[in-house]
């Protein structure tokens, strides 16, 4: 039976991750390219010689170009972050790179694990000492969020975490409230930290659960679980910690999807939860889709019924956020709160001309149904994510 381009994409990733040949079937190359771009997976196709040899030359060039961009970004990221860690060590300032910075090194080629940003935990009260370090590396301050200070240049985004998890999250925040409690010093360092393989894995699982609950995840998150789980770790500790957060069932379902898609020694059959999660992920894009994001937001607020009024309130909150949020978005408001009314007007024009995603979000909110909200909430609970997560 002919495989779909989705199945073929998963087979390509499996071949590259396990370093085995890929058996080529009849392929819809254009559909494969669209899927790989949506999920940030072009590098896997570019690194699969069997599929590249069969591909039209113009598409070969597109895949190679996209992968070369990933390689260039990863190289720049590695160079700049390594320099940042060295400078933090010199200045006696604590830092802890998170998730992707270490996970990417478990892939056959680090650039296969596309990263939109680099997350690093720092001490919030040291941010004024850290800003000159970032600027010396060509990274400019962009904005704050509840738990991050974000810097950018033309090639990468660095998110300096004031805390591991935003304080507006429930059980997850309580578990990671003291982020440094799970940090261990890197060999030969006094101020640069890392997490143990087990705690890195637990943090990745819980971070994926957070994204899942807030709109969905992509194929690459499942690939992360697959490559990380190849490392020998203390499974009793992992299961005990996941049980504290009630995400052990979510992890089981996620690991089953990773096994089904990427293992060379797959089970004969998988249960309905595994198949449902796999289907949901494939429909979610790289970090979830806008429809799921809105449904997740409404479901989280526990609105009893989705009405025109509840939608309108959500739209108004989006366009005219609270003073605390405006201070994060616009530094001028942070310096002078009385400018808030003026910047609500500026924000309208900002959305119209610079923030097209905000407009799309408003339109999606208008079209979100009660059925969609109810389904999303029920699905997440079924997949093993607790309500108060």
Domains and CATH numbers, the chain: 1-55 (no CATH), 72-195 (3.30.460.40), 196-304+385-389 (no CATH), 307-367 (no CATH)
Instruction: Please list, residue by residue across 320-353, b when 16 or more beta carbons sit within 10 angstroms of its beta carbon and e when fewer do.
Output: bbeeeebbbebeebeeeeeebeebeeebeeebee
Which value, to the nearest 10 degrees, does the dihedral of the CA atoms of residues 287, 207, 101, 17 take? Answer: -70
Q: How many CA atoms lie within 13 A of 69 on its CB side?
A: 15
Distance of alpha carbon 123 from the chain centroid:
22
Would you give per-residue pLDDT tens digits along the chain (389 residues)?
A: 457 888 899 999 999 999 999 987 788 899 999 888 888 899 999 999 999 999 999 999 999 999 999 999 999 999 999 999 999 999 999 999 998 888 999 999 999 998 778 999 999 999 999 999 999 999 999 888 888 999 998 888 999 999 998 887 778 888 998 889 999 999 999 999 999 999 999 999 999 998 888 777 889 999 999 999 999 999 999 999 999 999 999 999 999 999 999 999 877 678 899 999 998 888 776 444 555 555 555 555 554 455 655 656 666 766 777 777 777 677 788 788 888 888 788 877 776 666 666 555 555 555 555 666 677 778 888 999 887 77
| Strands, E assignment, the chain | 95-97, 118-122, 140-144, 148-152, 157-161, 183-185, 193-195
Contact 306, 368 (CB under 8 A): yes
Tell me if residue 271 falls in helix, strand or coil. Answer: coil
Distance of alpha carbon 162 from the chain centroid:
18
Contact 37, 218 (CB under 8 A): no
Separation CA 233–CA 163 (nearest Å): 26
3-state helix, strand, coil in the chain (%, to 5): 65, 10, 30
* Cα maximum dimension of the chain: 66
């Amino acid at each position: 039976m002919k495989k779909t381009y989705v199945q073929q994409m998963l087979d390509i990733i499996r071949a590259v991750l396990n370093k085995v040949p890929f058996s080529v079937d009849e392929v819809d190359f254009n559909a494969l390219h669209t899927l790989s771009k949506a999920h940030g997976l072009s590098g896997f196709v570019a690194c699969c010689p069997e599929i590249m040899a069969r591909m039209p030359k113009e598409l070969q060039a597109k895949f190679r170009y996209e992968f070369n961009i990933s390689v260039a970004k990863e190289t720049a990221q590695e160079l700049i972050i390594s320099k940042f860690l060295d400078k933090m060590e010199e200045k006696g300032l604590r830092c802890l790179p998170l998730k992707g910075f270490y996970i990417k090194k478990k892939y056959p080629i680090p650039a296969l694990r596309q990263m939109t940003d680099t997350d690093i935990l720092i001490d919030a009260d040291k941010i004024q000492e850290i800003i000159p370090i970032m600027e010396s590396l060509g990274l400019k301050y962009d904005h704050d969020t509840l738990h991050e200070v974000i810097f950018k240049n033309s090639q990468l985004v660095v998110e300096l975490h004031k805390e591991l998890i935003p304080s507006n999250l429930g059980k997850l925040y309580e578990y990671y409230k003291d982020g440094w409690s799970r940090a261990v010093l890197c060999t030969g360092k006094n101020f640069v930290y890392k997490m143990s393989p087990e705690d890195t894995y637990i943090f990745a699982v819980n971070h994926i659960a957070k994204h899942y609950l807030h709109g969905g995840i992509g194929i690459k998150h499942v690939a992360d679980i697959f490559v990380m789980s190849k490392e020998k770790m203390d499974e009793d500790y992992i299961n005990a910690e996941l049980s504290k957060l009630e995400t052990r069932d979510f992890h089981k379902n996620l690991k089953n999807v990773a096994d089904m898609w990427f293992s060379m020694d797959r089970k004969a059959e998988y249960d309905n939860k595994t198949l449902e999660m796999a289907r949901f992920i494939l429909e979610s894009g790289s970090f979830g889709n806008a429809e799921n994001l809105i449904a997740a937001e409404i479901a989280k607020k526990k609105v009893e019924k989705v009405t025109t009024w509840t939608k309108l309130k959500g739209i108004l909150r989006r366009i005219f956020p609270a003073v605390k949020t405006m201070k994060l978005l616009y530094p001028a408001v942070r310096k002078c709160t009385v400018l808030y009314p003026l910047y609500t007007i500026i924000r309208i024009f900002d959305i119209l001309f610079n923030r097209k995603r905000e407009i799309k979000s408003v339109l999606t909110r208008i079209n979100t149904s009660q059925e969609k909200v109810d389904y999303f909430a029920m699905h997440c609970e079924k997949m093993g994510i607790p309500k108060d997560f």
